Amino acid sequence: GFLPLQGHVVRNWKVRWFVLLQDKLLYYKIEGGKKEPSPKGRILLDGCTITCPCLEYENRPLLIKLKTKTNTDYFLECCSREERDSWALDITGAIHAGHPVQVQELHRMKNSFKLLENISLHNIVERMYDSSTGIKLTRNLDQGNRYKETFTGSALVDWLISNSFAVSRFEAVTLASMLMDENFIRPVGVRSTEATRSSDPSEKFLDDSTALYMFAESSKKNTSSKEEVHFSISELSGTIVKQGFLVKQGHKRKNWKVRKFVLRADPAFLHYYDPTKEDNKPVGGFSLRGCLVSALEDNGVPAGVKGNVQGNLFKIITKNDIHYYIQASSKAERVQWIEAIKPLT
């Protein structure tokens, strides 16, 4: 699949097509919508160590760090926590392929969690407040309201694991629930607040990138009414239905570039981002109301499509008759995107 990779000489980010083998991770360059036949590079997994979550880059919270036995660092970025954890699990399984017991341990989720005796909840909160190594506080939008100094449930889970307070996401969620029960943190916004009503203790705190939390003693939320929020903010406040890397044909130069697509509902919009840029702002997007979406034939090059593409194409026509040509990495992924988009049109 597609993953942005940081360069070694020039520390910029390039999107590459990755293929995981038993002993190595190959990555390929995409030209004209098609994968080049020879790999651009390879990461040897023998003696490799993996760090996930990796929080070395504040603007890129979904990183996997691989350090080879020659001490070369590779940073790979995923588009969602689910994708990141899936890649990390598969890569770790390949690293330990010769050790079946370790692979079994990777797949085993512990059903109980006991706070380590030498760690107190007060100590965790103090570490969370640390200006350099603590959890990053950001402004967030929920149901038209703006909140200052918040963090998401998934961000807290990542932070607890990276700081060795927990070894699995299950343990981190349990620990975060304890912080909430002891009134160190509190939920803000609809999603996280509604979860606290669950009768299941393990579901009261959400390992979710849309669930917002803040320190209990923080100042009250700074809100603005829905009417005061600009339309651009409003369209980005919808619930994320699906996200992933796809290849898109440009409107002017007709070249093909990998973009991170985010599909949102209520309101229904499809935005796309340049994954090589540091800021997390869309470079384009459109309302899905009145759109038509359909798969394109893989035989030959469809009308309107330029370049020697690999197939798995689909087309979206907006109500303003703007045509978007998009390429998925597989037929199954193309079907998934079309089925996700259609109900929102």
Q: Where are the domain boundaries for CATH 1.10.10.10 in the chain?
A: 121-215
- What pLDDT sits at residue 326? 94
Q: Count Cβ neighbours within 10 Å for each residue of 113-143 and write b for 16 or more, e otherwise.
A: beeeeeeeeeebbebbeeeeeebebeebbbe
- What pLDDT sits at residue 146? 75
**Residue 234: in which H helix or E strand, if any?**
helix 231-235
Q: Does domain 2-110 have CATH number 3.40.190.10?
A: no
Q: Where are the domain boundaries for CATH 2.30.29.30 in the chain?
A: 2-110, 233-342
Is the CB of residue 285 less than 8 Å from the CB of residue 235? Answer: yes
The architecture in CATH of the region 233-342 reads Roll (2.30)
Strands 269-273 and 256-265: antiparallel
135 backbone dihedrals φ, ψ, rounded to 5°:
-75, 140
Q: Which CATH class is domain 121-215?
A: mainly alpha
- What pLDDT sits at residue 225? 36
Residue 30, Ramachandran bin (φ over 0: left; ψ between -120 and 50: alpha; else beta)? beta
Q: What is the pLDDT along the chain (345 residues), one digit of tens a residue?
A: 999 999 876 788 999 999 999 889 999 988 877 788 899 999 999 889 999 888 888 778 889 999 999 999 999 999 888 888 889 989 998 888 755 555 555 555 434 445 555 567 778 888 898 888 899 888 877 656 677 789 999 999 999 999 988 888 888 888 898 888 777 898 988 888 888 877 666 678 999 888 899 998 763 334 343 333 333 677 777 888 999 999 999 877 788 899 999 999 988 999 999 898 877 788 889 999 999 999 988 766 677 788 767 788 999 999 989 999 999 988 999 999 999 999 999
